[in-house]
Structure 1
Amino acid sequence: MNYTDIDFNKKTILITGAAGFIGSSLAFYFQENYPNATVVAFDCFRSGETFSNGNLKSFGHFKNLLGFKGIVVSGDINDKVALKELEDNYSFDYIFHEAAISDTTVLEQDVMMKTNVNAYEDLLKIAIKHNANMIYASSAATYGDSDRFEIGYEQPNNAYGFSKVVMDNVTAQYLKKDLDISIVGLKYFNVYGNREFFKNSTASMVVQFGHQIMKGLTPKLFEGSDKILRDFIYIEDIIQANIKACAPKKSGVYNVGTGKARSFEDIVNILQKELEIDNGKEYIPNPFVGSYQFFTEANIESTKENLNYDPKYTMEDGIKAYIPEIKRLFKTEVK
């Protein structure tokens, strides 16, 4: 599906974090819609290295790029030599910066800031030098303890959310300059869909509940789950926002959600209906009361106005579209 009048054929596009969930989805979007575009997929890929919380340092997985025919470069965005080689070897028209430490439980604040903030500014300098429009991943985690999900009301409660606030602040400083490029930050809310599986325990509850149900297990929900609401957004609407951000009416930072909060209870109900499996539900005490967000809902008015963004997928539509992949993954990766 084409989301813009821009013809990306004969354009050179850099995607960082391209072996991850959203990065790989973008890579295939361009391959399928603009076969004559040059797409450079840059990712450090996973190793056995972990953070102190036990989670992997990188979730990038080669299986997310199976079938991709563009250029694949293995490298770390913290490696200035690797970035210099990108700068010297290509002339980019667009940069989609999806690479980040996205695990909100990572405790290494120094690595978080270097990776999410310093490396972003290094890439921004390449964008300016190449005259390339920059589209980067911010996050709804910037809102943290806020009860108002609008730009300017961020209250991050972890290092990840803070790092994304600082990224957005860097953007604001650069936009004060007289630049020939656009810079757009996209605050993703709760994304789910194809190619998220290899995020392991940080993948959405849509795929995790789906596989629990297919195993014959009873999904465990926190007590009061019908009142725990999030803005869940399907991957196709995330792609739409990224593509439309290539030609914004106005540079800046924008929320990307559906604008409609839904419950974890809804997820389980829709999954069991679509899978035609009813394992019931089990309710357990919420151990995170006091440090847990019970509600998120993106204000997307400025996103609609300045990016011409229009979310297409309700939760029912998104989960229905996702079911074949949830089933495929269960057969090939879970069983």
Structure 2
Amino acid sequence: MRVLVTGGAGFIGSNVIRALIDEGYRAYCLDDFSHADFRNIYELPCDVITADIRDGSVFKKLPRLDAVIHEAAVTDTTIDDDNKMMTVNLGGFKNVLEYCFKKKIPLVYASSAGVYGDGPSPMKEAQTPHPLNIYSYSKLMCDRLAGAYFSRRGTPLVVGLRYFNVYGPGEYHKGVSASMIYHLYNQMKSNKNPRVFKFGEQKRDFIYVKDVAQATVSALRMKKSTIMNVGTSFARSFNDIIKAINDVLGKNLSPEYFDNPYSLVYQNHTEADIARIKNALGFKPRYSLEEGIGDYIRNYLDKSL
């Protein structure tokens, strides 16, 4: 089976390609390398297509494909360029949707738990969305566009995956938008006190990227179109992260708390209800927060991979 991954050189996309290859798929990576890192894929036996998803003509030149996994997006929630966020995330997604509907092939795409904003937890797919920033809004618009396409045309399969707070190997190029776990590790590895927003009790549903990649590839087996959460169903605090990193590094560094400058547009609590994906695919995360952080540090960060 031949599967194209847009944004395939990025953080989640490259992990999805690795999971596809491990399961015997032939993987194609489409990326413009503006928000990606070739080091994420240089060891992977995949075909690389350098292109921008905003360019509709790109999709006229693609090889024969059996499915598309769409990961390409601008993901920095602090970005000031709203136009770029919308043209890439929504405009590019529309091109991908149109291609998949014309070719009648399945599409699995990355949505985001950001669409829930500060809504009640555990967060369920059917609850009222409340995006707090332009990134989350762009993802909500993608969900609505996918729903409109499916309602109007019926086929093919379209599955949206609302990723919660993903961390793990391959995020190193992301800068400020890399995970809290990555940033805290870098501080603590240098024997600096980890800096977190007051008082470290904000809670997120942190999910290891290996679990996310597995869920994404598994979604190709879905029989009907839907939107599903991809999380662990457990909300863990920033203080929990600090303790887990301390334990792996053998340190005892205390947190340094500071005011949150993004308090008006910040999700203080995320927690996924994963009943839908569990029932549909039997999905169960393999890694707890402590296990994921341990694997990430020992097998990647400490080896500078």
Instruction: Quote the sequence identity (%).
Output: 35
Unpaired runs of 5+ residues, structure 2, are: none
| Higher RCO, 1 vs 2 (CA within 8 Å, ≥6 residues apart) | 2
Unpaired runs of 5+ residues, structure 1, are: 1-10, 47-58
Residue among 229, 233, 246 paired with 1:272: 246
Q: Tell me if 1:30 matches 2:20.
A: yes
Residue among 164, 175, 192 paired with 1:200: 175
After TM superposition, the score normalised by the length of structure 1 is 0.86
1:178 is displaced (CA, Å) by 5.0
Residue among 206, 211, 214 paired with 1:232: 206
Alpha-carbon distance in structure 1 between the residues aligned to 2:111 and 2:263 = 26
Residue among 87, 91, 105 paired with 1:132: 105
Q: Report the secondary structure of 2:286's partner residue.
A: coil
Alpha-carbon distance in structure 1 between the residues aligned to 2:178 and 2:221 = 30
> 1:8: which partner in 2?
none
1:252 is displaced (CA, Å) by 1.1
Counterpart amino acid of residue 62 in structure 1? F
Q: Tell me if 1:157 matches 2:145.
A: no
> 1:175: which partner in 2?
150
Change in CA separation of 1:16 and 1:291 when aligned onto 2, cut-off 3 Å: closer
Residue among 29, 50, 70 paired with 2:46: 70
Q: Quick check: 1:139–1:188 contact (8 Å CA) kept in 2? A: yes
Q: Quick check: 2:206–2:235 contact (8 Å CA) kept in 1? A: yes
Counterpart amino acid of residue 161 in structure 2? L
Counterpart amino acid of residue 63 in structure 1? R
* Equivalent residues, number: 302
Change in CA separation of 1:174 and 1:328 when aligned onto 2, cut-off 3 Å: same
**Match runs of 1:221-260 below 5 Å:** 221-225=196-200, 227-260=201-234
Alpha-carbon distance in structure 2 between the residues aligned to 1:222 and 1:40 = 40
**4+ runs of 1 displaced by more than 4 Å?**
none
After TM superposition, the score normalised by the length of structure 2 is 0.94
Change in CA separation of 1:288 and 1:39 when aligned onto 2, cut-off 3 Å: closer
Residue among 17, 36, 45 paired with 1:60: 36
Q: Quick check: 2:20–2:217 contact (8 Å CA) kept in 1? A: no
1:249 is displaced (CA, Å) by 4.3
**Match runs of 1:74-93 below 5 Å:** 74-86=50-62, 90-93=63-66
Q: Quick check: 2:33–2:50 contact (8 Å CA) kept in 1? A: yes
Change in CA separation of 1:97 and 1:289 when aligned onto 2, cut-off 3 Å: closer
Counterpart amino acid of residue 247 in structure 1? R
1:155 is displaced (CA, Å) by 0.5
> 1:297: which partner in 2?
271
1:180 is displaced (CA, Å) by 4.1
Q: Quick check: 1:186–1:255 contact (8 Å CA) kept in 2? A: yes
Alpha-carbon distance in structure 2 between the residues aligned to 1:81 and 1:289 = 41
Alpha-carbon distance in structure 1 between the residues aligned to 2:264 and 2:95 = 37
> 1:105: which partner in 2?
78
